[in-house]
Every structure is written in C-alpha cells, then in structure tokens.
Chain A
Amino acid sequence: MKVNYIQPDGTRHEIEAEPGNTVMETAVDNDVPGIVAECGGGCSCATCHVQVTPEWYARVGQPEDIEQDMLEFVVDRKDTSRLGCQIELTPELDGLTVNVPESQY
C-alpha cells in the first residue's frame, strides 16, 4: 500500500508501506524528513505530528484522550492533525496522504 507525505515546500514522498505499521514508523523507516518520533511511538513526545489531508481524515478517525491532549499544543495544529504513531495503517488507508508540519518543536 502507499502513503504520501507532503512537505511544507510541496515536495511529495510516496512511500510503499506495510499494513500494521503506523504512519510514523513508515516515515521513519524511509527517512521521510520532518517526522522526528523521539519516543519511538510511545505517545510521549508529540514529535511525529502530521496533518491528515481533509479527504482522508474521516477514514483515519479522531484522536483519543492522551493524543488529543498532546495535539492541543503541537506547532501549527490543524483540525485534521494527528500523531503519526497513533495511526495504524490498514488496506483501507491505501493512498493516505498527510502533510508534514513546518516543525515538530
């Protein structure tokens, strides 16, 4: 399946992804710039913030409590923001497209 990461300058990375991995893991494993993921997926650092494109947000779903609280304070928060480590990829998300924010700090 494919996941697309769009950088702030418009550069697009189309990555071959494995269902079961998260949006964060897919980015990190493929050295997609701008996704830092310091805590390795433990929902502790909020440095894997992505802005899901509006057309995909319904299928990706809303954040739960801890993630919600972390997202409230990320840089350049959008209504469709999620932490990449909390989005698990399923075949239904083939083609998922997310924007990478200007900064994770």
Chain B
Amino acid sequence: MSECLVVVGASHAGVELALGVRRDGFAGRLILIGAEPTLPYHRPPLSKAFLAGDKQLYEIDLRPAALYEKQGFELLRDTLVTAIDLVRKRVVLGDGNELAYDALALATGSRVRRLNVPGSTLDGIHYIRTVRDIESFRERLGPGTRMVIVGGGYIGLEVAAVSVRKGVEVTVLEAAPTLLSRVTAPDMASFYARVHREEGVEVRTGATVTGFTGGNEVESVMCSDGTRHAADLIVVGIGILPEVALAEAAGLEVDDGIVVDEHTRTSDPHIVAAGDCTNHPSRLYGRRVRLESVPNAVEQAKVAAATLCAKDKVYDTVPVFWSDQYELKLQIAGLSQGHDQVVIRGSMAERHFAAFYLRGGTLIAVDAVNSPAEFMAGKRLIAARAGIEPERLADTSVPMKEFLQRGGTTA
C-alpha cells in the first residue's frame, strides 16, 4: 500500500487503525475523517461518567491532539463523506471536494435505531450516541425531573442507573418480556430488573411505546397496554444499526454490516473495514457476526492496519463487552446465543456471580457480575472451546484457576 490512505470514521476503530498503520510501517499520507466536530473520544462514558457529569469532554479524548500531529494524521473533523468512487478511487466530501486514495479504510460505526411513532419528533426526546446528544440533556438530571427511558438494553439501563442516583424519577419501558432479552439469560435479566427496582427505577416490561404527546416539548408517553406516563425527558435506547449507506451505495458487499473476511478485506481489494460497521467471520462460533463493542473496534482495527501493511493477521478473538450500572461491574465474554445450559456460580443475592453459558457441554459465553476471575478465566476457556463439568463450575470452592490448569477439558 503506497501513498495515500484515507480512513473514513475517526472514533475507536478509525483512530486505532490509523495508529496501527503507522506502527506497522506506513509512512505515506494519512487522512482521518470524522463526522463529529470534536476530537475523537471514548464512547462508553457517554452513558456513564460523562452523563453523570463526573467527566468532561477533554477527559475522555481517545488521544491528545498532539499525538495525531506527531503521527502525521490529517484529521478532518466535522466532515462527511458522501460517496466513494471505487473505480476512480476517490471519496467525495460533504463540501463537494474529492480525495484520491490508494487504500481506503471504513470505520463508519453505527447509527442509532430511531423510534418512529406519532410524536417521536417532539423536543425532549433524546438518543444516545454522541457527545452532543448527552450535552443536550445531562444538565437536566436532578430531583423533580421525570424521565422515561424507552428500551431496557444496556444503554437504557446505564442511563437509568446514572439518572436515578441523581434523584431523577425514572421509568424504563421495555417492549420484550424481559430486560436485556436480546443478550442475556432470564436469570441475568431478572437480576438486573430486581436491582434497578431496588434502586427506585420503575421497570415495565411487555410495554411497547405507541406514541408521544405534547406541545413542542414532550409531555407524556403512551404504551400498548393502555398506560400513559408523564415525562419531562425521554431517552431512547432501542439499538443501533451499522452505518453502511456509503459502502452500499458504492457497490461494496453489505449484509447486516459491511461484509469483510478474516483479514478485514471488503469486496474491493483496496478497501478494508473495521468496528461496529462490519459483518465478519467468527472462527469460534462458525458463523458471521456483527459486534457492537469497543474491544471489537480496537482489535479488528489492528488487524485491518496489519492487512493494509501487507502483514498476515487474522481477526480471531473472543468477543468481549462490559457494562457498568451502580456498583455492578458486568464483564461479558463470548456470545451466548444458541446455549442449551446456564450455570450460575456465586451469589446473586450478594451481587457477585457469573452466568456461564454452555452448548453441548462446551463453554460459549460468560456474563460476570463483580466477578473478574470468572470473566478472565471464562474468556480463556471459551477460546479453548473447553468442555466444563457444570457441577464443578457452580462450586465456588473450586477456584477458576483450576479449570485452566486442567486444560479446561473434561475427561
């Protein structure tokens, strides 16, 4: 890869990829294009410490600006890429200018799924993705504010946790029968529902939002069960979709994400992609996946950088995710879909336990709450496709270390 690399997207994956190619020896022109006006920043704190006001923007920068200069990045902020011309190898910017590339990296991330019901364009309805989103309402978190959160996934629950601790009256409306239904077992879901209720959050499941009412500002939320909830502030967290419009319009292969191989190559030989926006093969699970996590963005970006520099690296790791709510540190390794057995280790009552997910006797995922050893060991056991004896796993007198020492396999 010779003279000019253009990286579209300047968040976790884009920045890591740019740093990676410099580290892997690329000395040519490097243009890093971000849609947001700010310096690149860590996204996870937006629903945690940044929302709470415990951190300010400069404290969540991914890297100091000086580092980008030192590495010779041309960082274009507040800049949209509106088209890619695969044949002429150019990207078109929002202002009409074109940039020629020798190689292109797409790190366009995700966009939020939007609620499309009557009243959903009223003021006071907020989504969670950017610094601007959070800055538009975090000052309103305090006693007397009534917040309704639409969506009982990680984003909704993290916002609930921060808000209720600030004295906000919080209601979470989840359409599915349980919280976190897409991603966890019922035991985990009911644990989180219990904790949130103990903290004072009103949790309503099986509650589909059918509309909002209000003048200019939202005043209440209507649900399918006939209930109506007064609200000063609405936060919607109903999932994200991969940002693939650019790739799709350009003619790249797209299928629930920009399709890439295990080296992060797209269907065009000069283009790689990394992070939330990709659909990539998982050797571990024998299927393609699209992951929504920082570790995926960072690790896949490193492989993309290697590929761009003609180094042979394969992206093949155990998916990892974490979520912080109240004093609960949740660390997740693996994907639990398709499990046929759940083993609980530890104490839900004491709020430190892990849910291990097995399939055919093999460990495929673990959700660990305040249980770092279970998470760390679990990650290794999942990678080793270890067979586990459920009774031993549930026995807290057997340290997690022992499962690794035995090679993790049953007799």
List residues of chain A with CB within 8 A of the CB of B63: 28-29, 31
* Known A45-B295, A45-B322; contact A69-B45, beta-carbon cutoff 8 A: no
Given A44-B322, A70-B376, A72-B376, 8 more pairs with CB closer than 8 A: A29-B63, A30-B67, A44-B331, A45-B322, A69-B376, A72-B401, A73-B401, A73-B404
29 pairs, CB–CB < 8 Å, chain A vs chain B: A29-B64, A29-B67, A30-B67, A33-B23, A36-B298, A38-B295, A38-B298, A39-B44, A39-B294, A39-B322, A40-B42, A40-B45, A40-B294, A42-B44, A42-B322, A42-B324, A44-B322, A44-B331, A45-B320, A46-B376, A70-B376, A72-B373, A72-B376, A72-B401, A73-B373, A73-B376, A73-B401, A74-B376, A105-B317
- Could you say which of A30, A33, A43, A73 has the most chain B C-beta atoms within 10 Å of its C-beta? A73
Are B322 and A73 in contact, CB atoms less than 8 angstroms apart? no
Q: A-facing mask of B39-56, CB < 8 A → 1, else 0?
A: 000101100000000000
Of A31, A39, A45, the contact of B19 (CB 8 Å cutoff): A31
List residues of chain A with CB within 8 A of the CB of B377: 73
Q: Which 9 A-B pairs have the closest CB atoms?
A: A73-B376, A69-B372, A44-B322, A69-B373, A70-B372, A40-B42, A38-B295, A29-B64, A38-B298
Residue A58, interface by CB 8 Å: no
Within 8 A of B (CB), among A19-64: 28-31, 33, 36, 38-40, 42-46
Closest A residue, CB atoms, query B376: A73
Within 8 A of A (CB), among B289-324: 294-295, 298-299, 317, 320, 322, 324
Residue B121, interface by CB 8 Å: no
List residues of chain B with CB within 8 A of the CB of A70: 372-373, 376
Min CB gap A50→B, angstroms: 17
* Known A29-B63, A29-B67, A72-B401; contact A44-B373, beta-carbon cutoff 8 A: no
B: number of interface residues (CB 8 Å)? 31
Chain A residues near B (Cβ < 8 Å): 28-31, 33, 36, 38-40, 42-46, 66, 69-70, 72-74, 105
Alpha-carbon separation in the docked complex, A30 to B372 (Å): 28
Within 8 A of A (CB), among B49-73: 60, 63-64, 67, 70-71
Min CB gap A22→B, angstroms: 12
Chain B residues near A (Cβ < 8 Å): 19, 23, 42, 44-45, 60, 63-64, 67, 70-71, 294-295, 298-299, 317, 320, 322, 324, 329, 331, 371-373, 376-377, 379-380, 400-401, 404
List residues of chain B with CB within 8 A of the CB of A66: 329, 372
- Secondary structure dominating the interface of A: loop
Are A44 and B67 in contact, CB atoms less than 8 angstroms apart? no
List residues of chain A with CB within 8 A of the CB of B329: 43-44, 66
Closest A residue, CB atoms, query B67: A31
Min CB gap B404→A, angstroms: 8
Of B44, B67, B299, the contact of A40 (CB 8 Å cutoff): B44
Alpha-carbon separation in the docked complex, A73 to B317 (Å): 16
List residues of chain B with CB within 8 A of the CB of A72: 373, 376, 401
Alpha-carbon separation in the docked complex, A66 to B295 (Å): 20
Min CB gap B294→A, angstroms: 6
List residues of chain A with CB within 8 A of the CB of B295: 38, 45
Min CB gap B22→A, angstroms: 8
Alpha-carbon separation in the docked complex, A69 to B372 (Å): 6
Alpha-carbon separation in the docked complex, A72 to B63 (Å): 29
Min CB gap A101→B, angstroms: 15
- Could you say which of B70, B71, B371, B372 has the most chain A C-beta atoms within 10 Å of its C-beta? B372
Closest B residue, CB atoms, query A105: B317
List residues of chain A with CB within 8 A of the CB of B373: 69-70, 72-73
Alpha-carbon separation in the docked complex, A36 to B64 (Å): 16
Closest A residue, CB atoms, query B296: A38
- Could you say which of A33, A43, A66 has the most chain B C-beta atoms within 10 Å of its C-beta? A66
List residues of chain B with CB within 8 A of the CB of A39: 44, 294, 322
Min CB gap B27→A, angstroms: 15
Alpha-carbon separation in the docked complex, A103 to B95 (Å): 43
Closest A residue, CB atoms, query B318: A105
Of A31, A46, A73, the contact of B71 (CB 8 Å cutoff): A31
Alpha-carbon separation in the docked complex, A43 to B71 (Å): 28
